[in-house]
Structure 1
């Protein structure tokens, strides 16, 4: 019986990303995420992650969302720096800053964006966020916050990053019952599940190359 094991020369090895590729991925990933967040905000939906946590705090604290988003992520920047390296933390800080900057552009570029369906906005917006975060993950970056915790749980504990983030996001969405209607919270919950399924199905070290 002949062996089905491919010769060493036939085994595909992923080439490392160049700095230019990482830089472009950071720009593209953060832009896609910010566009997804803009779609969610246009429908007055609640989202998961530290963005959702910042939106909840924004209801009771008179601080602009962009600043809250940065402040909420500070502990996670430090955690990422200590456990995953300061290069990772630096790219995460840059990623959060770019999302905030891009988010400020969308209302001017798309001033008349008004989704007719909250459920459509929840699904489409979270699909964009999930795709954008996948791009960042594949290039060794993230948007801080729960992303850092999810990646660490996967690398240190063997847990699936998508499912870990899903649990954290659900906790934030449930907390939104205090500031949003049940219908909007339900749509947001559906969207959060969709986003994390995208990550869970597509971010699996060992199956997908390109890290």
Structure 2
């Protein structure tokens, strides 16, 4: 629950500041900003293709937990703006704070056998099987997302978003390790 709430809170900060993040949420942000579609719905739909990998390579338990997490994040990220106000939110500060919130949320999800979906599922699987850090794989995917974002948000927002994603990915890379606590 902690991972879901922290991830949703971070996403709500990014939305309020007109920023994005990487991974599946970043793709959902880009699609949402470009089309005007609801972020929560797009985030849920973007994650659907990754569940096949989760079922076949990681297992039903992980898949169901991830589906619950993604569904909850989709709902909560839409609800947060109604209960938390952001009257002053400087983009670079929002990016860093959201990066830490989402990062700790992702670690919480990973450590309890789930993910926030999408690239997190792929990153979790690769880290568990090879030891290659999840945060570094997510960073590579983010390069693609931020290239796309340059077409839908202004360059200052892209730069602030890159800062937030760097914070998130470094936080995950340095703090989530297979030799540390993982709930089974």
TM-score range, shorter chain: over 0.9
Instruction: Look up the SS of the partner of 1:189 in the other structure.
Output: helix
Deviating 4+ runs (over 4 angstroms): none
Which residues of 2 match residues 11-26 of structure 1 at below 5 A?
Answer: none
Alpha-carbon distance in structure 1 between the residues aligned to 2:20 and 2:4: 19
1:72 corresponds to: 46
Structure with a larger share of its residues in helix: 2
- 1:124 aligned onto 2:110: no
In structure 2, relative to structure 1, the CA distance for the partners of 1:184 and 1:67 (3 Å cut) is same
1:51 corresponds to: 25
Match for residue 154 of structure 2 among 167, 176, 181: 181
Alpha-carbon distance in structure 1 between the residues aligned to 2:142 and 2:105: 17
Alpha-carbon distance in structure 2 between the residues aligned to 1:103 and 1:162: 22
Residue-pair matches, total: 183
Q: Which runs of 5+ in 1 are unaligned?
A: 1-26
How large is the Cα RMSD of the aligned pairs? 1.4
Match for residue 86 of structure 2 among 113, 125, 128: 113
In structure 2, relative to structure 1, the CA distance for the partners of 1:28 and 1:120 (3 Å cut) is same
Which residues of 2 match residues 67-106 of structure 1 at below 5 A?
Answer: 67-106=41-80
Q: Which runs of 5+ in 2 are unaligned?
A: none
